[in-house]
Structure 1
Amino acid sequence: MLASSWEASADLRSFKVKLRKGVQFHDNFGEFNAADVVHSMAYYTNDTCKASYSDYFRNNPGTDIEVINDHELIINTVERPALIYDYWLSEYRGVPISSRAQFDQGCPQGSSQYE
Structure 2
Amino acid sequence: MAKSDPWPTELKVDKDRRLLTVAFDDGASFALPAELLRVMSPSAEVQGHSPEERVTVPGKKAVRILRLEPVGNYAARIVFDDGHDTGLYAWTYLRELGEHKEERFQSYLAELAAKRLSR
* Same-fold call, TM cutoff 0.5: no
Higher RCO (C-alpha under 8 Å, 6+ residues apart): 1
- The structure whose residues are more often strand, as a share, is 2
Give the TM-score normalised by the residue count of structure 2.
Answer: 0.29
